[in-house]
Amino acid sequence: ISTSFQVIEVGEFTHTCEDDIVCKTTCGKIPFFNAPLYFQSKEKIGKIDEIFGSILDNGFSVTLADGVKANSFKTGQKLYIDPAKLMPIERFLPGAPRGGRGRGGRGRGGDRGRGGDRGGEKFFRFLYQNLWNFFLFSSRI
């Protein structure tokens, strides 16, 4: 396990809920779903499962990694996260600048209509009808 990344405090433990733990956010930012959480020693605790509460007063639940027990945490114990896994609160406030809209895709083509052709069918239908007409009318000449 690489420990060359940086971690900052994201929240503190408040209580357990079944096999998960519930924490209060203390960093002023919103963590990503499924973001890994660590002890200060960069040992993995688990992943963020749910985020709840208001924009300014929120918390999150953590699904614990194998070998980490929910009853081993103490109230107020700090949890840490990679800063790249945090979003600024401004992103969720009204009037926040949105990302630019893309140009859009090229689309998937138009509707073929009722019984529309797929690829070479049109050519073969044309060829078949003309050959059939040729044989029908050429035998009368």
Ordered domains of the chain (ranges, CATH): 8-87 (2.40.10.230)
pLDDT score recorded for residue 90: 86
**pLDDT string in tens for the chain (141-residue length):** 566 789 999 999 999 999 999 999 999 999 999 999 999 999 999 999 999 999 889 999 999 999 999 999 999 999 999 999 999 988 888 876 666 666 666 666 666 666 655 656 776 677 666 665 666 666 555
Would you list the DSSP string of 93-116?
STTPPPPPPP-----------TT-
What is the end-to-end Cα distance of the chain in Å, rounded? 87
What pairs with residue 58 in β-bridges?
53
What pLDDT, on a 0 to 100 scale, did the predictor assign at position 45?
96
The predicted model scores a pTM of 0.65
